[in-house]
Chains A and B, each alone.
Chain A
Amino acid sequence: MRIACPFCGERENGEFTYLGDASPKRPNFAADSGESPERVEDAFYDYVYLRDNVAGFMREYWYHGGGCRSWLIAERNTVTHEFRSVIAAPGVGAANPVQAGE
């Protein structure tokens, strides 16, 4: 399996580390939003523990630790290992601001 890093080009998968689903967003409750503790707890439980078991394309975090040391988001087919796209994760490099919840 070879992965096309948007910065380095195509490299062997041994240079990359897999983290997992890139879809969950960290819940972002304001401290004084008045949300019930149960709802906040449920949202964090979902964010931390619950994952879909996708058969097909999913967005995943990969880390190019053996190369440019950038976090990437790849669309990979979990059945065929086909990569549809690989892009830089938000916050990579100096130019892009980190987006809330990423």
Chain B
Amino acid sequence: MVDYLWNTQSPLQKALVPGCHGATGAHPGVTLREVRDIVLVQVMARRGKAAETAKAAKKLFGVEAPATPKAVIGKTATLVWSGPDQFTVIAPRTDEASQLAAMAQAFTGSASLSDQSDGRCLIRVSGARARDAIAKFSSLDLHDSVFPVGTAANTSVDHTAVNFWREANGTDGHPVYNMLVFTSFSDSLWHTIVDSSLEYGVEASSAKAA
């Protein structure tokens, strides 16, 4: 009998080469980071239960769940709009079982939950030229006047669904964008982002969610 060994590994195991790539300069124009160890749960209000779902979210996370394409930061998680009466909960993975249990309890009877923690890959793109790099493969208008901090969008990149949102600017003052993609497409998307960023210089790494 064959023994199978199942090892947990990042979907970017091959694609992610840590370090600086492309143009060299004082500062890389784009910083690219795989954010690992996340807990990700899709929350969809059941028919006629939108108000109850919003109430349960407020109680659990201390913030109003987004009713429009926005990302809001709650006590223990970020809530990202993902469609009418639905949103995605993203949190650093601490004790996954108890994190999921707390949500299951909070939304009993009001919403349906779907654990996507290992189904998606979170990629964070930031830096002075992040917007220029993203503009090459996304049709979203990311101008500050249209896409300020806290804006979210469900969109397609190369026919692949991407949950996209902008968080607070980095300590360097430059914008920070998050892209959530199906794990099986993350390799392809990562290459697309790197290729789009090479002319600005790109620094690639991975980090645990915090």
User: Among residues 47 to 106 in chain B, which have CB atoms less than 8 Å away from a CB atom of chain A?
Assistant: 47-50, 53, 68-69, 82-86
Q: How far is the CB of A8 from chain B (nearest CB, A)?
A: 6
Q: How far is the CB of A14 from chain B (nearest CB, A)?
A: 7
Cα(A95)–Cα(B51), bound, Å: 9
Which residues in A have their C-beta under 8 angstroms from that of B153?
8-9, 67
- Which residue of B has the minimal Cβ distance to A66? B156
Quick one: given A7-B84, A94-B50, A95-B48, are A14 and B156 in contact (CB under 8 Å)?
yes
Say yes or no for B130: interface residue by CB 8 A criterion: no
Max count, chain A CB within 10 A of own CB: residue among B46, B154, B159: B154
Say yes or no for A15: interface residue by CB 8 A criterion: yes
Q: How far is the CB of A17 from chain B (nearest CB, A)?
A: 11
Interface of A: prevailing SS: loop
Which residues in B have their C-beta under 8 angstroms from that of A69?
83, 154
Interface of B: prevailing SS: mixed
Say yes or no for A12: interface residue by CB 8 A criterion: yes
Q: How far is the CB of B85 from chain A (nearest CB, A)?
A: 4
- Which residue of A has the minimal Cβ distance to B68? A7
User: Among residues 150 to 182 in chain B, which have CB atoms less than 8 Å away from a CB atom of chain A?
Assistant: 153-156, 159, 161
Which residues in B have their C-beta under 8 angstroms from that of A76?
none
Q: How far is the CB of B51 from chain A (nearest CB, A)?
A: 8
Apart from A69-B83, A94-B49, A95-B85, list 8 A-B contacts with CB within 8 A: A8-B69, A14-B139, A67-B153, A67-B154, A92-B84, A93-B45, A94-B47, A94-B48
Interface residues of B (CB under 8 A from A): 44-50, 53, 68-69, 82-86, 139, 153-156, 159, 161
Interface residues of A (CB under 8 A from B): 7-9, 11-12, 14-15, 66-70, 88, 92-95, 97
